[in-house]
């Protein structure tokens, strides 16, 4: 399949009607900064939130909205418009447009283009948490994934409606990264329609400095259940771990990603195993061995609840519930200390709030890994959920301090170091 660089790409952006539509203006700006051509189509509902004029001003192209516009159709017809793009992006994608896409409806300009296109579609859902979790929406999402539609997000967080949970649209930089991945994997809809997300990128494996290597990566948080509806979790977004997966795939490795719950698209080209708890993560990691390298980027919960309730705990019945915590398996330490099947290079992470280098060195020794990527989560450059990171790569002999940079660049630096470490051990 033909890869298209973002700088030469033509993106057809369909904006549907949600409060997150304002973020789509930022998305247009970021795509234009990267020299992509952006053609915007807005649904009628989207125009309640932002105007076609703002989208046209930022994209530098007329915004389309009406299916039966004589003037527009005379310039470029809707079929041509759908095919002239390299990728169709729906951001925000409301529950309504996902339902219309899943049902194959073509009742306005946006949905007509979605049905007529011969290219892949990437959607960034945005809606209230209840709407996202509704079985009808989840059914539509499954249907669309089976049809080969790519997803980025939604993320969890506070929502415009005052509720909290999954449903927030992915941030524009995250959408740009997903667009770049999709373009790199090739977006023409041919026989691969329905093959799912991972298929196109697999063709890239086998070329590059990690060709023939198997790299196993953990990413994201783990969720430790309290009862059927509640859990203990942490703020890890999974962005750094997922960026490492993309970098390792780019370097030609066969990559297995074991990820906790995150609001990110599965990186193309990797085999992705989704898990919830630390124990599930440990099992999936063990099952994925042997590997040449193990990179533990996940923020594994240190404890789990011993007395998980089989039914939802009701408040007020017996005072406050008492949660008994027990320690989780330390996956990194276990893999580092394996007698057989120990990967040649084991890399851990250390997120510290103080004495970063000293704590990280102690962790390197305690866990028995070969390298530790240490960062301070106390300051701005490495905040959880952010796009940048400032790390030190520490081994038994010393530390390499990197300047603040994007998580993608940190991932490239880690993969470059991995290549060196693997070659030393040959």
Give the distance between the most distant pair of CA atoms in the chain. 73
**Which of 151, 294 has the CB closer to ligand CTP?**
294
Do the Cβ atoms of 250 and 265 come closer than 8 Å?
no
**Footprint of ligand CTP on residues 329-348 (CB under 6 A)?**
330-332, 348
Return the range that interacts with ligand CTP (CB under 6 A); candidates 139-147, 152-160, 245-253, 293-301.
Answer: 293-301
**161 labelled catalytic:** yes
Kindly tell me which residue out of 63, 112, 328, 376 binds ligand CTP, with binding defined by CB under 6 A: 328
**Footprint of ligand CTP on residues 55-114 (CB under 6 A)?**
none
Kindly tell me which residue out of 302, 387, 395, 421 binds ligand CTP, with binding defined by CB under 6 A: 302
Give the total of residues touching ligand CTP (CB under 6 A).
15
Note whether 298 binds ligand CTP by CB under 6 A: yes
In the bound complex, what is the minimum distance in angstroms from residue 189's beta carbon to ligand CTP?
Answer: 38
**Footprint of ligand CTP on residues 231-260 (CB under 6 A)?**
none
**Footprint of ligand CTP on residues 361-400 (CB under 6 A)?**
363
**Which of 197, 394 has the CB closer to ligand CTP?**
394
Kindly tell me which residue out of 132, 151, 294, 349 binds ligand CTP, with binding defined by CB under 6 A: 349
Note whether 204 binds ligand CTP by CB under 6 A: no
Kindly tell me which residue out of 15, 91, 296, 418 binds ligand CTP, with binding defined by CB under 6 A: 296
In the bound complex, what is the minimum distance in angstroms from residue 219's beta carbon to ligand CTP?
Answer: 9
Note whether 351 binds ligand CTP by CB under 6 A: yes
Kindly tell me which residue out of 40, 91, 215, 350 binds ligand CTP, with binding defined by CB under 6 A: 350
- Candidates 146, 160, 161, 341; catalytic one: 161
Residue ranges that bind ligand CTP, judged by CB under 6 A: 218, 278, 296, 298, 300, 302, 328, 330-332, 348-351, 363
* Catalytic residue annotation: 161
């Amino acid at each position: 399949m033909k890869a298209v660089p973002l700088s030469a790409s033509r993106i057809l952006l369909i904006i549907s009607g949600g409060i997150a539509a304002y973020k789509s203006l930022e998305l247009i700006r970021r795509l234009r900064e990267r020299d992509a051509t952006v053609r915007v189509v807005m649904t009628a509902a989207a125009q309640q939130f932002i105007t076609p004029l703002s989208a046209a001003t930022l994209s530098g192209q007329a915004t389309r909205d009406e299916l039966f516009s004589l003037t527009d159709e005379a310039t470029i017809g809707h079929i041509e418009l759908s095919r002239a793009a390299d990728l169709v992006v729906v951001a925000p994608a409301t529950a309504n447009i996902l339902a219309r896409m899943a049902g194959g409806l073509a009742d306005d300009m946006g949905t007509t283009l979605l049905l007529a296109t011969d290219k892949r579609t990437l959607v960034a859902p945005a809606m209230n948490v209840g709407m996202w979790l509704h079985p009808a929406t989840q059914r539509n999402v499954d249907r669309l994934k089976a049809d080969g539609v790519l997803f980025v997000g939604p993320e969890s967080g506070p929502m415009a409606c005052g509720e909290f949970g999954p449903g927030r649209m992915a941030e524009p930089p995250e959408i740009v990264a997903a667009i770049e991945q999709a373009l790199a994997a090739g977006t023409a809809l041919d026989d691969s329609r329905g093959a799912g997300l991972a298929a196109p990128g697999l063709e890239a494996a086998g070329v590059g400095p990690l060709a023939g290597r198997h790299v196993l990566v953990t990413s994201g948080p783990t969720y430790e259940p309290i009862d059927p509806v509640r859990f203990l979790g942490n703020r890890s977004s999974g962005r750094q771990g997922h960026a490492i997966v993309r970098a390792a795939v780019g370097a030609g490795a066969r990559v297995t990603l074991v990820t906790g719950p995150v609001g990110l698209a599965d990186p193309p080209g990797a085999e992705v195993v989704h898990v919830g708890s630390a124990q599930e993560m440990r099992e999936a990691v063990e099952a994925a061995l042997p590997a040449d390298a193990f990179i533990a980027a996940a923020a594994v919960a240190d404890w789990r609840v011993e007395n998980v309730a089989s039914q939802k705990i009701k408040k007020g019945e017996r005072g406050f519930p008492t949660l008994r915590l027990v320690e989780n398996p330390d996956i990194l330490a276990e893999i580092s200390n394996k007698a057989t099947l120990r990967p040649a290079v084991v890399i851990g992470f250390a997120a510290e709030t103080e004495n970063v280098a000293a704590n990280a060195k102690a962790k390197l020794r305690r866990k028995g890994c070969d390298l530790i990527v240490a960062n301070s989560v106390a300051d701005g450059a490495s905040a959880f959920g952010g796009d940048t990171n400032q790390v030190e790569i520490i081994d038994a002999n010393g530390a390499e301090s990197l300047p603040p940079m994007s998580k993608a660049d940190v991932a490239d630096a880690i993969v470059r170091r991995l290549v060196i470490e693997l070659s030393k051990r040959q």
